[in-house]
Structure 1
Amino acid sequence: MNEQAVGIDVSKKKLDICVAIGNKFKSKVFANSPGGHEALNTWLQQRDIPVDTPVVLEATGPYSEAVAIFLADLGWSISVVNPSRISGYAQSELSRNKTDKADARLIACFAQRARLESWSPPSLAVRELRALVDRLQALIDMRQQELNRLEALSQTSTSSVEKMMKEHVDWLNDQIKKIQSDIDDHIDGSPELKNDADLMQSIPGIGRRASSQMLAYIGDVRRFKNAKALAAFIGVTPRQRQSGSSINKRSAMSRTGHVAARKSLYMPGLVAKHHSPVVVAMAVRLQTRGLSPKAIFGASMRKLVHLIYGVIKSGIPFNAEIAMNRLDLQEGI
């Protein structure tokens, strides 16, 4: 148990801070901006809070990452935890209040009692890649929205709006090609990214799009102690639901993890399920055990995660013969 801890409840515009020292608490609010981050650091230092004091915040995407990177760069001991852990802790404490101040205090109490893992900020190369990947996805989403509108418009009379929408789709196509080229150039220009991307793409089902997404969202997979830890972080581990003699449901994907990384594995999972000898062999084995197609697909995604971890951790490109020999040793779903 930690005597001192700092909890940060993050929102778009502000940071609610709670410093817990034993059973005493001190709260403060700062702007979620570079100036606010500076003020937060100064405020903690003025209260003689040691830099090795656990500072915990929930993983809330770009809103939490900016302050986490700032504090980590200054040497603070940062832990970025899955919001589900905080939610589970709140339920165990029978927490009734739901305010930003109360949430910060809850996170601080959680930080005092929980087993925490230190968080390391992504490298500058990974941060830039993530910005490019997010921009690419935003453009792809916009293009799909316009195509949907065009399809709906085609059911009515032709108008000048249709011409404008087609021009917009053409512009989006050009921008998508440009951003994809920028992503490829960025990866090629970074030895750390290039090596890992090549290793990932040696796995059947993993192309340049999926490898760039995984690198952007996960960073260096070597920071995970094993493949199971990486699969749990992404949220593709199975969740069993059994209790007594009345509840015995099929296992399902936990989905408690990094949503964007999990989505990036959807198409590779489909491809691998039909074209990767290792994944096909696993799927056949699971089918004979009576698993549903949905469960088999989830297992295919999880197998890809294990393969990604294996090639990057070993530094050796995918080898189907080695993977097939190890398949029987892997745990089933």
Structure 2
Amino acid sequence: MNEQAVGIDVSKKKLDVCVADGDKIKTKAIKNTSAGHVELDQWLLKRELSANTPIVLEATGPYSEAVAIALSDAGWAVSVVNPARITGFAQSELSRNKTDKADAKLLAKFAQRADLDIWQPPSIAVRELRARVDRLQALMDMRQQELNRIEALDQGTPSSVKSMVEEHVAWLDKQIARIQSDIDDHIDGHPELRQDAELMRSIPGVGPRASAQFLAYIGDVRRFKSAKALAAFIGVTPKQKQSGTSINGRTTISRAGHTAARKSLYMPGMVAKRHNPVIIAMAKRLEQRGLAPKAIVGASMRKLVHLIYGVIKSGQPFRAEIPMAGLEIQEGI
């Protein structure tokens, strides 16, 4: 058990921090900004904590990763934990309160007791890739909004506004093409990214955009001990509701993990279900077992994660005959 530990509950605008020293508790609320991250580092130093004091945050996407990077760069021992582990710990503690301050205290208690892995921050190359991928997604969202406006304008009285929106769409098309090219050049300019991207693209269903998104959100998959651990981090592991003979709910994916990475796998999962021989075979087996279509898509996403982990870990491109051998064991969501 760690005598000293830190828990940080992360939200968009603030960080609720709890330092536990034995049974003693010290809390503070700090803005979740770059300046706030510097303030947090200084505040922790004043608590006279050792550099290896565990600091635990839940994996909540960009809001938690920014502060995790700042603390890791400052030399602290940061662990970014799947929310499902914290939920399970809260249930074991019979935790009733649900406030930011109470959550920070719960995270600190978890950090005192749990066996933790030190989080490895993404490389500078991955951080830059993520910024470009996020910008591409923002531009594509804007383009879709403008296309929706054009459709709405077509239903009403003719207006000059339509031509203005069309001009904006044309500008967005140029910006999207430009940043897509920038993303390709960035990956090609970094050998470690280029190699992993090429291995991923050897898998039917994973194209240039999907591979860029996956690398941007996950980074180096080799840091995970297994494909199962990677799938749990993303949130595509099975979630079953079954108890005795009275409860037998549908199996779904857990969704307790990295939301952006999970979303980036949805369309590749759909495509792979039609074009990847390994996933086609798995989907047919699941259909015969009566699994719902959505559950089969979830299974396809999970299988893709296993395939991605396999090709990158082995350094060998996708070959259908290799994963087919393990299909009997690994099929399912």
Q: Contact 2:83 / 2:256 at 8 angstroms: preserved in 1?
A: no
Per-residue displacement from partner, 1:276-329 (whole Å, max 9, x unpaired)?
111111122222223232222221111111110100000000112222233234
Q: CA deviation at 1:87?
A: 4.1
TM-score between the two structures when normalised by the length of structure 1: 0.94
Unmatched segments (≥5 aa) in structure 2: none
Using the TM superposition, name which of 50-59 and 188-197 deviates more. 50-59
Matched, 1:63 2:63: yes
Per-residue displacement from partner, 1:25-46 (whole Å, max 9, x unpaired)?
1122333333332332222223
Per-residue displacement from partner, 1:236-273 (whole Å, max 9, x unpaired)?
11111111210012321112211111111111111111
**Residue equivalent to 1:51:** 51
The CA distance in 1 between the partners of 2:312 and 2:171, in whole Å, is 37
**Residue equivalent to 2:306:** 306
The CA distance in 2 between the partners of 1:276 and 1:60, in whole Å, is 31
**Residue equivalent to 1:215:** 215
**Residue equivalent to 2:148:** 148
**Residue equivalent to 2:78:** 78
**Residue equivalent to 2:177:** 177
Cα distance change on mapping 1:153 and 1:287 into 2, 3 Å: same
Cα distance change on mapping 1:147 and 1:42 into 2, 3 Å: same
Using the TM superposition, name which of 27-36 and 46-55 deviates more. 27-36
**Residue equivalent to 2:109:** 109
Cα distance change on mapping 1:288 and 1:29 into 2, 3 Å: closer
TM-score between the two structures when normalised by the length of structure 2: 0.94
**Residue equivalent to 2:157:** 157
Residue pairs, 1:1-333, within 5 angstroms: 1-333=1-333
Using the TM superposition, name which of 199-208 and 313-322 deviates more. 313-322
2:79 partner letter: S
3-state SS of the aligned residue for 2:6? strand
1:280 partner letter: I
The CA distance in 2 between the partners of 1:101 and 1:47, in whole Å, is 18
Cα distance change on mapping 1:49 and 1:288 into 2, 3 Å: same
Q: CA deviation at 1:91?
A: 4.5
Per-residue displacement from partner, 1:39-78 (whole Å, max 9, x unpaired)?
3222222322111111112223332222211211222110
3-state SS of the aligned residue for 2:325? helix
Cα distance change on mapping 1:189 and 1:272 into 2, 3 Å: same
Identity of aligned pairs, percent? 73
CA RMSD of aligned residues (A): 1.8
Cα distance change on mapping 1:95 and 1:249 into 2, 3 Å: closer
2:176 partner letter: I
Q: CA deviation at 1:106?
A: 2.3
Structure 1: 4+ residue segments shifted above 6 A: none
Q: CA deviation at 1:120?
A: 0.8
3-state SS of the aligned residue for 1:137? helix
3-state SS of the aligned residue for 1:250? coil
The CA distance in 2 between the partners of 1:32 and 1:284, in whole Å, is 47
Cα distance change on mapping 1:325 and 1:89 into 2, 3 Å: closer
The CA distance in 1 between the partners of 2:138 and 2:271, in whole Å, is 24
3-state SS of the aligned residue for 2:326? helix
3-state SS of the aligned residue for 2:7? strand
Q: CA deviation at 1:331?
A: 4.5
Q: Aligned residues, how many?
A: 333
Per-residue displacement from partner, 1:128-149 (whole Å, max 9, x unpaired)?
0111001111111111111111
3-state SS of the aligned residue for 1:50? coil
The CA distance in 2 between the partners of 1:31 and 1:62, in whole Å, is 15
Q: Contact 2:241 / 2:249 at 8 angstroms: preserved in 1?
A: yes
